[in-house]
Amino acid sequence: RLDVRAGLHRNDELGLVSEAFDEMAGRITQLLRSQKELLANVSHELRTPLSRIRVALDLAAEGDAQTARELLPDITEDLAELERLVQDVLTTSRLELVTEGASGATPPLRLEHVDANALVEKAAARFRTARPKHRLEVQVDGVLPGLEADPVLLRRVLDNLLDNAGKYSEPGTTVRLLARAEGSGLQLEVRDEGIGIDAEDLARVGTPFFRTDRSRARTTGGVGLGLALVRRIVAAHGGRLTLESQPGVGTTARLLLPATGAADTPDGRLVAGH
C-alpha cells in the first residue's frame, strides 16, 4: 500500500512539474511571438516615413530654395512620426507592455512633482513643431493642480494623444487641448476633427497592435502601441481614459489624472462611449 501511495505521490508531482513546464513553454512562445510581431511591425513602419523623407530630400536637393522650403513641413512630420515610433518602442520595453500584456503588473513609476501648466504648454509646443500643418488651440480653465506623477511617462501620454489627433485628421483642421482642475486632480482633453473611430472599434483601440481599418487606409503609419501605452500609464497613475468618437466628425480623448499618482485602486480602464 505504501508503495502504491508513494507512486501516486510521485505521479502527482510529475504532473505538476509537467504542467508548470507546459505553462512556461506557452509563455515563452507567446513572448517570442509578441517580440517578433513588434519587430516586424516596427521595421515596416520605419520604412514608410524614411523613404518619404528620402524622396522629399531628393526633390529639395534638385529644386530651388522655394521648393525646398515647401517640402520642410512634410519632412518635419515624417521625422516626428519616426521619433514617436522610437519613443513608443522604448517605453514599451520599459513598461514591458508586450511581454506582460496590458493587464500585467503595474509598472514602476518615478514619481515627482509635476507642474500641470508646464506639462500642457510643453506638449503644445512640441505638437506645433511636429505638426506645422495643423492648427492647435489650447484652453486652460482656471488654476491647474500640481501632480505627483512620472513626468517622462505623462509626456508620452500627451504626445501620443496629440500625435494621434494630428495623424488621423487632415492638415488645416484644428486640434484642441483643454485642461482644467477636476476635484483635486487634472482633466485633460484632446479633440480632433478627424476620421473618427467606428463604434465597434472603440473598445479595441488601446489593445497592443490593434489598428482600425479607417486608419490603415491612410498613408501615415502606426504600429498600434501608442494608446496601449497611454492606457497602461494612466492606469498606473490611478487615472482614467475615455474615448469618444463620431466617424467622419472627430475624436475626443479625455483623461482624468488624480493629484497623487500611485492610487491604491488604479482604474485605468479604457471607457468607450459616444
Residues that bind ligand ADP (CB under 6 A): 160, 164-165, 168, 192, 194-197, 205, 211-212, 215, 222-228, 251
CA atoms within 13 A on the CB side of 156: 27
Nearest-approach distance from CB 215 to ligand ADP, in angstroms? 3
CB of 95 to ligand ADP, least distance (A): 14
Nearer to ligand ADP, 224 or 258 (CB): 224
**Which residue's CB is nearer to ligand ADP, number 57 or number 199?**
199
In the bound complex, what is the minimum distance in angstroms from residue 245's beta carbon to ligand ADP? 7
Q: Which is nearer to ligand ADP, 87 or 187 (CB)?
A: 87
Least Å distance, CB 164 to ligand ADP, is 3
d(CA 9, CA 15): 10
Of 167 and 237, which has the nearer Cβ to ligand ADP?
A: 167
Least CB distance to ligand ADP at residue 51 (A):
18
DSSP secondary structure, 125-168, as one string: HHHHHH-TTSEEEEEEESPPPEEEE-HHHHHHHHHHHHHHHHHT
Integer CA distances (angstroms), 188 to 54, 120, 220, in order: 37, 9, 25
Q: Smallest distance from the beta carbon of 56 to ligand ADP, in angstroms?
A: 21
Torsion of CA 218, 219, 225, 229, to 10 degrees: -80
Residue whose C-beta lies closest to ligand ADP: 222
| Three cell numbers written together for 260 | 497623487
**Pick 160 or 187: Cβ nearer ligand ADP:** 160
Give the C-alpha separation, 129 to 24, whole Å.
Answer: 46
Nearest distance in Å: CB 187, ligand ADP: 18
In the chain, at which residue ranges do the beta strands (DSSP E only) sit? 112-115, 135-141, 146-149, 174-182, 185-191, 240-246, 250-257, 270-273
Give 38 or 60: the residue with its C-beta nearer to ligand ADP: 38
CA-based diameter of the chain, in Å? 95
Nearest Cα residue to 83 out of 35, 130, 121, 34: 130
Q: Are 94 and 51 in contact (CB under 8 A)?
A: no
Q: Which is nearer to ligand ADP, 99 or 117 (CB)?
A: 99
- Grid cell digits, residue 142: 482656471
